[in-house]
Every structure is written in C-alpha cells, then in structure tokens.
C-alpha cells in the first residue's frame, strides 16, 4: 500500500491509499480519484515522496537513521553461549561420572596408591577403586604406567 497526500485544484489536501503507484496513476487517469471535500476529479500528488506502509513493523517504527545504517554492525560473539552450553553439559557428565565411580568402585581412601600399584602388578585382583593420593603419588603411578585419572570434583566443591 502506498499513501499519497493529494490536493485538488481548489487547494484541498487529503490522503488516500493505493495498492501501488501504478494503481494510483490508473485511477487518476480515469477520474476515479476525487477530492472528498469538493469532489473535484482534478487532483494531483501534493508530495513527491509517498509514504510506504510497512506491514512488518507498523507505521510507528522510527525511520532508519542514515548514520546508523552506515555504521558497521557490532561484531557478534557467538562463542559465549557456545561455551556455556558445553560447560554445563560437561559438568553434568562429570557429575554422572563421579556418581558412577563412587557407586561402583571401592573407596580405599589414602591407600589408593598402594592399592592401584598392587593391582597393576597383579598382587591383587583388579577392580575399580577410588581414593586419595598426593600429587607426587599420582605422578609416580602415571610414571609406572598405572592408569589413574583425577576423580571429578563433586558439584558442591565448586562455586
Ligand atoms: Zn477539493
């Protein structure tokens, strides 16, 4: 829809809507566009620039600022939500892993290094264990080729 501000030959200004500028031209040529005040068919456009009705945002939408249009759009940072989601999932996975370990494995406490080493060298039947070890003990186990992994912290350990 296009809104035209029209004026008749007697100086009456009025607004009228048309499906298109071609439709206005056709109706005006056929004398169908008349002044609502004096009904004169001798009307013409009072303004050169018609107002185009916007169906998406409504007519109340402010006109685009030329300076704003020329300015580059601010750089988006899509990595922010993408980091948050895996972080949240990872915590859930770690929490599930911890729950699995603490449910299925034997808690050996500070004897973890000795137990792990004993199982590694066949002194005891292999089983899943978890417990505590110092950083030096953990490093020594890894150096000996014993597979150990840090137990994920409990959710309450964080924050
Ligand atoms: Zn008139």
Find the 85 Cα to ligand 1 centroid distance in Å: 66
Q: What is the mean pLDDT of the chain?
A: 79
Find the 43 Cα to ligand 1 centroid distance in Å: 8
Average pLDDT over residues 20-33: 90
For the chain, state the CA radius of gyration.
39
Find the 58 Cα to ligand 1 centroid distance in Å: 30
CA-CA distance, 108 to 39, in Å (whole number)? 100
pLDDT of residue 112: 92
CA-CA distance, 17 to 20, in Å (whole number)? 9
Split at pLDDT 50, 70, 90, the class of 95 is: confident
Find the 36 Cα to ligand 1 centroid distance in Å: 7
In 3-state terms, what secondary structure has residue 77?
Answer: coil
Find the 45 Cα to ligand 1 centroid distance in Å: 13
Split at pLDDT 50, 70, 90, the class of 34 is: very high
Average pLDDT over residues 78-86: 57
**50-64, 74-88, 113-127: which range is least confident on average?**
50-64
CA-CA distance, 57 to 60, in Å (whole number)? 8
Instruction: Output 134 or 155, whichever has higher pLDDT.
Output: 134
Q: Return left, alpha or beta for 140; rule: phi > 0 is left, psi -120 to 50 is alpha, else beta.
A: alpha
Query: How many Cα neighbours within 13 Å face the side chain of 66?
Result: 0
b/e code 80-95 from CB counts within 10 Å (16+ = b):
eeeeeeeeeeeeeeee
Q: What pTM was computed for the model? A: 0.41
**22-31, 38-47, 53-62, 145-154: which range is least confident on average?**
53-62
pLDDT above 70 covers what percent of the chain?
Answer: 72
Count, in order, helices (H) and strands (E) of the chain.
5, 6
């Amino acid at each position: 829809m296009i809104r035209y501000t029209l004026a008749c030959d007697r100086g009456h200004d009025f607004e009228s809507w048309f499906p298109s500028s071609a439709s206005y031209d056709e109706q005006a040529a056929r004398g169908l566009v008349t002044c609502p005040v004096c009904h004169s068919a001798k009307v013409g456009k009072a303004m050169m620039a018609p107002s185009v009705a916007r169906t998406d945002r409504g007519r109340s939408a402010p006109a685009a600022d030329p300076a704003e249009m020329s300015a580059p759009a601010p750089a988006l940072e899509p990595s922010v939500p993408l980091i948050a989601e895996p972080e949240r999932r990872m915590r859930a996975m770690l929490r599930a892993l911890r729950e699995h370990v603490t449910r299925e494995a034997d808690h050996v406490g500070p004897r973890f290094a000795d137990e792990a080493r004993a199982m590694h060298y066949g002194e005891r039947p292999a089983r899943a264990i978890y417990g505590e070890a110092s950083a030096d003990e953990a490093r020594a186990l890894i150096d000996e080729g014993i597979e150990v992994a840090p137990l994920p912290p409990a959710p309450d350990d964080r924050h």
